[in-house]
Amino acid sequence: MKTSEIKELTDKEILERIQLETETLVRLNMNHAVSPLDNPMKIKVARRNVARLKTVLRQRELNQN
Neighbour count for residue 6 (Cβ, 10 Å) = 17
Mean pLDDT estimate for the chain:
95
User: What was the pLDDT predicted at 39?
Assistant: 94
User: What was the pLDDT predicted at 1?
Assistant: 79
Tell me, which fold does domain 3-64 have in CATH? Answer: Helix Hairpins (1.10.287)
25, 30, 38, 56 from 41: Cα distances, Å? 11, 14, 9, 23
Sequence-distant (≥ 6) Cβ neighbours of residue 6 within 8 angstroms: 14, 17, 52, 53, 56
* First-residue to last-residue Cα distance in the chain: 27
pLDDT < 70: residue spans in the chain = none
User: What was the pLDDT predicted at 65?
Assistant: 84
